[in-house]
């Protein structure tokens, strides 16, 4: 059987880092098995769904390189849900309920006050036909619940959490359809998973109880449930669930200069026993993806770790990968020289400014100015101008180490540190280099 996974975001906002991790892991799971990764836009909430967010989801997945093998939209599949609903209704697996939100909340408070779990009491099942008719005549439209089968435990072998077992009597019959006829998440999702041939559902551990109820929905629809796996949720670096993670989206990462390869490398292994490394090769991440390495502890997302991975990824990028993002005139030699000092590709502009000038060296004392003036006279151009210059100055002045190299770097770049001067000096060029040395020596 071909492995089929899916990513099913609701287009009610931008993707955040938790969504991205879920999408990535489903993509990796499918790619490792040689299967299919599908995108399903869960846009049944017409009031909150926005087309701009649909486009943003597609753009973010494209930026990350997570190309889906197919796309579906729930808003175009409503007849399927109606058909499944009527089938379940005819078999007595869905029923109307008439409580208001306030009445349900009061019931929950009473149950909690008595030390009982806040489970729906199935009061709607006790209504007579006459009582239901009276409510509807009175203008109370029902919402609809799926009736759980209490006869046997719900079990499945979770791909991350192992054997899971739920007593259905300890779960509320889930609301699947609102009074206005609109759908909640669980039934349409199950219907789509069946129709789309989804074999594996990998999602956050906050869906574990949903899975228990959905397994019964699959059974009621006479379909085998997919394999389920629930991974630990992301937490912030402070060790607590962070609302901030919900605001960290691909747009934010792009503005920070984060490479998609860096975000993918981090999220691919975050929460697993495998080391997080700056792996740019997708094939490596695919081949090493393994649900058995996922832990139960919360997965900690750390901005500093992402920045570290990003810098390491940038240091691996070839000139062809970044040429369209570099300053005008910056060639492959310049990229090779500057790349080891970058944290983001955008930082290349600062170092290219050092090459093209002007630069502002620090104020030097008289002895150092004399040394730099001598350096301007000693500069002779060759294939190795930096090595030749420093060797000549070492011999003529007796300087070595920091005293030899630092004043030259400061005069030529205006910086105390930076790229290898052996690569940088040829980029500056003979005339400009001599001019900078002479200026620093006479200032």
The answer to whether 243 is a known ligand-binding residue is yes
Q: What is the Cα–Cα distance from 112 to 106, expressed in whole angstroms? A: 10
Structure tokens at 354: 């050092």
21 neighbors 272 (Cβ within 8 angstroms): no
Q: What is the CA radius of gyration of the chain?
A: 32
Q: What is the Cα–Cα distance from 363 to 235, expressed in whole angstroms? A: 48
18 neighbors 49 (Cβ within 8 angstroms): no
45 neighbors 67 (Cβ within 8 angstroms): no
Structure tokens at 349: 């502009």
Strand partners, 38: 6, 70
3-state secondary structure of 200: strand
Question: Which residues, 6+ apart, have CB-to-CB distance to 318 below 8 Å?
Answer: none
Question: Which residues, 6+ apart, have CB-to-CB distance to 348 below 8 Å?
Answer: 322, 325, 326, 327, 330, 335, 338, 339, 342
Structure tokens at 150: 């209490």
Phi, psi (degrees; rounded to nearest 5) at 25:
-65, -35
Q: What is the Cα–Cα distance from 150 to 171, expressed in whole angstroms? A: 9
Q: Which residue is listed with tokens 């691919």?
A: 268
In degrees to the nearest 10, what's the CA dihedral of 249, 251, 256, 261?
80
213 neighbors 241 (Cβ within 8 angstroms): no
Q: What is the Cα–Cα distance from 108 to 105, expressed in whole angstroms? A: 5
Structure tokens at 49: 């769904």
- Residue list for the binding site: 243
- Residue list for the binding site for ATP: 243
């Amino acid at each position: 059987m071909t492995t089929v996974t899916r990513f099913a975001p609701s287009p009610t906002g931008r993707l955040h880092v938790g969504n991205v991790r879920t999408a990535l892991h489903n993509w990796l799971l499918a790619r490792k098995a040689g299967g299919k990764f599908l995108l399903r836009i869960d846009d049944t909430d017409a009031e909150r769904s926005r087309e701009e967010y649909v486009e943003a989801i597609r753009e973010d997945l494209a930026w990350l390189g997570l190309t889906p093998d197919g796309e579906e939209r729930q808003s175009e599949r409503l007849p399927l849900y109606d058909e499944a609903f009527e089938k379940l209704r005819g078999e007595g697996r869905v029923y109307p309920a008439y409580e208001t939100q306030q009445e349900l909340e009061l019931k929950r408070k009473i149950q909690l006050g008595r030390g009982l779990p806040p489970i729906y009491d199935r009061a709607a099942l006790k209504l007579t036909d006459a009582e239901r008719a009276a409510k509807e005549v009175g203008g109370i439209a029902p919402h609809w619940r799926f009736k759980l089968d209490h006869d046997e435990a719900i079990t499945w072998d979770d791909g991350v959490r192992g054997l899971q077992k739920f007593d259905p009597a300890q779960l509320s019959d889930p609301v699947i359809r609102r009074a206005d006829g609109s759908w909640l998440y669980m039934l349409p999702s199950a219907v789509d998973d069946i129709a789309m041939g989804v074999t594996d559902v990998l999602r956050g551990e906050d869906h574990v109880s949903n899975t228990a109820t959905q397994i019964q929905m699959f059974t009621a629809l006479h379909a085998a449930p997919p394999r389920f796996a629930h991974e630990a949720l992301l937490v912030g670096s402070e060790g607590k669930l962070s609302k901030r993670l919900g605001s960290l989206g691909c747009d934010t990462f792009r503005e920070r200069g984060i490479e998609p390869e860096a975000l993918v490398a981090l999220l691919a292994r975050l929460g697993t026993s495998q080391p997080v490394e700056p792996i740019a090769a997708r094939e490596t991440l695919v081949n090493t993806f393994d649900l058995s390495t996922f832990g139960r502890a919360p997965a900690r997302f750390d901005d500093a770790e992402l920045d570290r991975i990003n810098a390491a990824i940038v240091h691996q990028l070839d000139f062809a990968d970044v040429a369209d993002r570099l300053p005008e005139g910056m060639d492959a030699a310049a990229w090779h020289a500057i790349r080891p000092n970058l944290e983001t590709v955008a930082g290349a502009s600062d170092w290219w400014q050092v090459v093209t000038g002007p630069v502002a060296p620090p104020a030097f004392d008289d002895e150092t100015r004399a040394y730099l003036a001598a350096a301007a006279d000693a500069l002779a151009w060759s294939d190795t101008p930096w090595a030749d210059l420093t060797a000549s100055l070492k011999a003529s002045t007796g300087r070595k180490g920091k005293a030899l190299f630092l004043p030259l770097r400061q005069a030529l770049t205006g910086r105390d540190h930076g790229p290898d001067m052996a690569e940088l000096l040829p980029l500056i060029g003979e005339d400009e280099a001599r001019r900078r040395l002479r200026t620093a020596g006479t200032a």
